[in-house]
Amino acid sequence: MHSTMTPAQRDRAIHHLELTIRVMRDAPVRTTCAECDHFDQISGKCAQWGQIVPADARAAGCAEWREGVPF
């Protein structure tokens, strides 16, 4: 079912969506090793790089961060 709106209402709605997208694109994201699917919590080893991740690098993670199973 389609709703109808005036051109001005449509333009305001589009503007709101564009602002929301911009905010979401700029939103900070977490890429900690602890939340990465490549990370072995017990050994501290990263499967992507094949090495133990130094403790001081785990908070930042890296660009290869991968979403794991969320449960």
Q: Which residues lie near ligand SF4 (CB under 6 A)?
A: 31, 33, 36, 38-39, 46, 48-49, 53, 61-62, 64-65
List 46's β-bridge partners, or say none.
Answer: 39, 51
Q: Which is nearer to ligand SF4, 17 or 68 (CB)?
A: 68
Residues 68, 41 contacting (CB under 8 angstroms): no
Phi, psi of 38 (to 5 degrees): -80, -10
- Report the Cα 47 to chain-centroid distance in Å: 20
Query: Least distance in Å: CB of 43 to ligand SF4?
Result: 11
Nearer to ligand SF4, 16 or 64 (CB): 64
CB of 28 to ligand SF4, least distance (A): 15
